[in-house]
Homo-oligomer: A and B are copies of this chain.
Amino acid sequence: MELNPALYLIPVNISNAPLRDTLPEGNLDILRHLHHIIVENVRTARRFLKRCDPGFDIRSVTFYELNRHTDLGEVSTYLEPLRRGEAIGVMSEAGCPAVADPGALPVSLAQREGFKVVPLVGPSSILMSLMASGFNGQGFCFNGYLPIEQKEREKKLRDLEILSKKNDMTQIFIETPYRNNRMIAAITSVLRGDTLLCVACDITDPENETILTMPVSKWKQAKYDYDKRPAIFLIYAPGRNIVTR
């Protein structure tokens, strides 16, 4: 198999689930034929490739590191193989590359020069949590991290609740894992009791995956401990069409 000269966007597992449960087999065919891969961290990228295939010939791959230490002006040079007609891969640390991570920069540069960009299928906590939340609506927004400062965070949460109700949209955001419990406490202290909150944790993990939707009033009374687990938060302020609770 000869790969087309394109930028392949290669998802990485987000839990310890067997790879065959969260990544299409076809992704491996492409990985095996790549000699240039843009990664966030070379060590973990190597580990992923070895996990995909213990016989993976890692010496045949040149890695290009792209993270917060990278001089962004250099990233354009990472595309040299593409300019010579060779395929390049982009991987992030976990999940789908180029969604709210530095991988978007080489994609943007490749698009600008007219190169083909090929996204592959893989696990996304944003999309999978949305599927499992049960939140219907005309659409959804992913907001990344909320402000850390308490007053600003509370204002942002209220704004998201209003936007959800007004536009009938699910509002999604994330938090650093050691602050998950505090985030839930902030949500239950600030938002309306009938607003729905979904907390999705350890997505795809066969043992620990927990995806729970309840009204804020129930979360207020619930016992939970989500600290140090990868989590994502979704709020939905019921409009006309939602199932009443």
Q: Tell me if B98 and A134 are in contact (CB < 8 A).
A: yes
Say whether A25 faces chain B, with CB atoms less than 8 Å apart.
yes
Tell me which residues from 101 to 142 in chain A have a Cβ below 8 Å from any Cβ of chain B: 104-105, 107-112, 117-119, 121-124, 126-142
Bound: A11/B139 CA distance, A: 18
Tell me which residues from 202 to 219 in chain A have a Cβ below 8 Å from any Cβ of chain B: 203-204, 209, 211-214
Q: Tell me if B99 and A209 are in contact (CB < 8 A).
A: no
Q: A121-B128, A124-B127, A134-B117 are in contact. Are A243 and B108 (CB under 8 A)?
A: yes
Q: Tell me if A245 and B131 are in contact (CB < 8 A).
A: no
Say whether A12 faces chain B, with CB atoms less than 8 Å apart.
no
Q: Tell me if A98 and B138 are in contact (CB < 8 A).
A: no
**Interface SS, A side:** mixed
Say whether A68 faces chain B, with CB atoms less than 8 Å apart.
no
Q: Tell me if B22 and A121 are in contact (CB < 8 A).
A: yes
Say whether A20 faces chain B, with CB atoms less than 8 Å apart.
yes
Q: Tell me if B121 and A133 are in contact (CB < 8 A).
A: no
Contacts of A127 in B (CB 8 A): 96, 99, 124, 126-127
Say whether A85 faces chain B, with CB atoms less than 8 Å apart.
no
For A139, give its contact among B20, B96, B144 (CB under 8 Å).
B144
Contacts of A157 in B (CB 8 A): none
Say whether A186 faces chain B, with CB atoms less than 8 Å apart.
no
Bound: A34/B10 CA distance, A: 30
Question: Which chain B residue lies CB-closest to A26?
Answer: B21
Q: A123-B121, A141-B169, A142-B140 are in contact. Are A97 and B23 (CB under 8 A)?
A: no
Q: Tell me if B9 and A20 are in contact (CB < 8 A).
A: no
Contacts of A129 in B (CB 8 A): 119
Question: Which chain B residue lies CB-closest to A22?
Answer: B121
